[in-house]
Amino acid sequence: MMQLSRSVCLAAALLAPVPLAGQELQSASSSMAVPQWAFPRPRPTTGAGKADSVRLRHVPRSTRAYTDAQIASLFSVPDWHPASHPRMPPVVENGRRPTVFACGYCHLPDGQGRPENAALAGLPAAYIEQQVADIKSGARKMAGDKPFGPFESMRLAATGATDAEIADAAAYFARLPLRRRPRVVESATIPHTVPGNGLYFKDTIAGDEPLGARLLEVAASRTQHERHDSETRYVTYVPLGSIARGRALATVGARRDSTKACATCHGADLRGVGLAPPIAGRSPSYILRQLIGFKVGARAAPSGALMRDVAQGLTLDDMIAAAAYAASRAP
């Protein structure tokens, strides 16, 4: 089956096999080793050929139909569930050629997002605008020294977007409710997986593999994910005891060095306070990548100074636990 989500990887993305726990990529900006498994990239494949522009595709609970070529277009959002959101502004629905990709293509028309990018629904508009500005200025980068396709796409779009387009998109997504609640499963083993573009898919190989000290987010349906269906569900596997450990970090902090609890800024229910964004019910792999970014200095904007201080007191195991707990909470 053609992997449609690769269309956002861009030629700049390096397609590398994802190592198991213990095989890590060293960050140039920190002594912390950035785990490559947290930034999965599809394995190289031989030419997939031109996307089919004739056969119509479908997803569950939708009367809409699109061809593979339509689904792969970065400038026309496949809107499978139009009743789930208000009318999209032009920059969200179609973007603007050549590099301002439709915001709704990656973040989806209802703002629910996907594991490789942010769920924008319910984030404060000012916060969204600030993040785009930080990406545009270079104050917000990706951790590690290899390009990460989804971020490269966002960087290109942010660089080309006007202030008015950014404001329109931010206002639109801010008024949408976050509905998705990721399923977080604690386990010592997981089904065999293969890396996708920012997440994992179940492999055709039967049996299990050890999870180790990793957090892996897996699409329940590869087909729905690749067709950009906002009703795609994801299962995140985390080490045993992660949620309880994350709850402690969220409520009392890391006692060993007085690191502030997550609830101090994000609120007791982790649903945000002021411009401190809501993190409850959001993608755990996305949350983890942001914590790593703060830890290694890839998120260097002045507004993130407090979060960088907090991240310095966290180990990778802490970050996995905090992301697992936040994702398990109701948005």
pLDDT given for residue 31 in this prediction = 67
Kindly report which listed range (25-39, 64-78, 98-112, 158-172) carries the lowest average pLDDT score. 25-39
What is the tally of structural domains in the chain?
Answer: 1
Please write the tens of the pLDDT for every residue from 222-264: 999 999 999 999 999 999 999 999 999 999 887 666 678 999 9
pLDDT(82) > 70: yes
Cα-based distances in Å from 77 to 93, 108, 207: 6, 8, 37
Task: Judge contact between 208 and 192, C-beta under 8 A.
Answer: yes
pLDDT band at 43 (very low <50, low <70, confident <90, very high): confident
Supply the pTM of this predicted model: 0.89
Domain assignment present for 201: yes
pLDDT band at 49 (very low <50, low <70, confident <90, very high): confident
pLDDT given for residue 16 in this prediction = 32
Q: How far apart are CA 101 and CA 89, in angstroms?
A: 13
Q: What is the mean pLDDT of the chain?
A: 89
Find the CATH number of the domain harbouring 260: 1.10.760.10
pLDDT(195) > 50: yes
pLDDT given for residue 10 in this prediction = 31
Please write the tens of the pLDDT for every residue from 130-141: 999 999 999 999
Cα-based distances in Å from 59 to 114, 177, 182, 221: 16, 22, 20, 10
Residue bearing the bigger pLDDT, 98 or 26: 98
Domain assignment present for 151: no
Domain assignment present for 261: yes
pLDDT(84) > 90: yes
pLDDT(93) > 90: yes
Domain assignment present for 126: no
Cβ-based burial of 274 (10 A; exposed 0-12, middle 13-18, buried ≥19): exposed
pLDDT band at 47 (very low <50, low <70, confident <90, very high): low
Task: Judge contact between 299 and 190, C-beta under 8 A.
Answer: no
Q: What integer is the mean pLDDT of 27-40?
A: 78
Q: How many residues does the chain have?
A: 331
Domain assignment present for 197: yes
Domain assignment present for 234: yes
pLDDT given for residue 117 in this prediction = 95
pLDDT given for residue 254 in this prediction = 72
Print the domain residue range for 217: 180-328
Domain assignment present for 63: no
Domain assignment present for 17: no
- 50 CB-side CA count, 13 A: 4
pLDDT given for residue 29 in this prediction = 44
